[in-house]
Structure 1
Amino acid sequence: MTAPYAPSARIGHVHLKVADLDRAIAFYGDVLGFEVQTRLGTEAAFLGADGYHHHIGLNTWRSKDGIPAPEGHTGLFHTAILYPSRADLATAVKRVLAAGYPVLGASDHGVSEAVYFNDPDGNGVELYRDRDPAEWPRHSDGSLQMYSRPLSVQNLLSEHP
């Protein structure tokens, strides 16, 4: 396996095609709490947390009034949003549920806990929190032992302050 060119490289943001910019801003802004950092009229917006220029870009350049890709097509599976604690994850999940978006799945991956939704355009959204690396399950050779086990959303929501 080839080592990465830049070991500290990471994914910095996601840019999504949406059908309705205001509807998408309402989800990522009002529900998930990202702030609009800049807006390009009625065609694009850039949302971030903690004053960052953008974690999420939204645009209607090639998708205004479009429909979600049909099942069985390639494309983005989901955008994953990392929360710093289990309580923060519970708060985010509670806000999404209160806004009327149903849980599509919830998994304990050993290294993380995740809850899955779709945004208003049918894009997958994973809300998750990482466990401390000292808690990550490992095989006898030291490699990660990730898995996908059911996660109780009710148990998670009990963490909501």
Structure 2
Amino acid sequence: MSSYIIPAQTRIGHVHLKVSDLDRALAFYCDLLGFSLITTYGKEAAFISAGGYHHHIGLNTWYSKDAPPAPVRAAGLFHTAILYPTRRDLAVALQRLIEAKYPITGASDHGVSEALYLNDPDRNGVELYWDRPMDQWPRKPDGSIDMYTHSLDLEDLLSEI
């Protein structure tokens, strides 16, 4: 292996998910989470985004129409992480989930970020999170990041609204 290091400006551009019911997936990602529908490919695929980007999430039924969710104990995507710009934005997302009575599977403070965990209707894992400013990230004595998993205080998060 070479000592090549990927450029620091590199970003994950989008995720493309197999879903069993496109309308149900769009209801979750657009109606509940607030993404905008950018375009569809017939009745089999849709592309959604935040802020008008060509797509952050692709949804398709090409190989999965009416299929059951993938087994939890199988190789594959663990979760899609959706980064919110501020803590208040994450709080608004939490409030929307609560109002919709949508189940949350976890809520964690990782030191570098605060995160909510849930599953989309096809049981694809979804993380909703915001990053603390880098100068607030916990560090080990050697300067490396000291991430952890503590319970997230949801009442404190909701106080941002």
Whether TM-score is above 0.5 comes out as: yes
Question: In the alignment, is residue 8 of structure 1 matched against residue 9 of structure 2?
Answer: yes
Q: CA RMSD in A?
A: 1.3
Contiguous gaps of at least 5 residues in structure 1: none
Alignment match, 1:139: 140
Structure 2 residue runs of 5 or longer lacking an equivalent are: none
Q: 1:50 maps to which residue?
A: 51
SS at match of 2:59: strand
**Partner in structure 1 of residue 157 of structure 2:** 156
Contact 1:101 1:118 in 2 (8 A): no
Q: Distance in 2 between matches of 1:79 and 1:5?
A: 21
**Separation in 1 of the partners of 2:100 and 2:86?**
22
Aligned sequence identity (%): 62
Change in CA separation of 1:143 and 1:50 when aligned onto 2, cut-off 3 Å = same
Query: What TM-score do you get using the length of structure 1 for normalisation?
Result: 0.95
Return the letter of the residue paired with 1:151: L
List structure 1 segments (4+ residues) > 3 angstroms apart after TM superposition. none
Map 1:37-76 → 2, pairs under 5 A: 37-76=38-77
TM-score normalized by the length of structure 2: 0.95
> How many residues are paired up?
160
Q: Secondary structure at the match of 2:88?
A: helix
Q: How far has the Cα of 1:104 moved from its partner?
A: 0.5
Q: Which amino acid aligns with 1:22?
A: D
Q: Deviations over 1:108-149 (max 9, x none)?
A: 100000010000110000000000111000011111111111
Deviation at 1:154, TM superposition (A): 2.3
Rounded to whole Å, the distance in 1 between the matches of 2:8 and 2:143 is: 20
Distance of 1:3 and 1:28 partners within structure 2 = 36
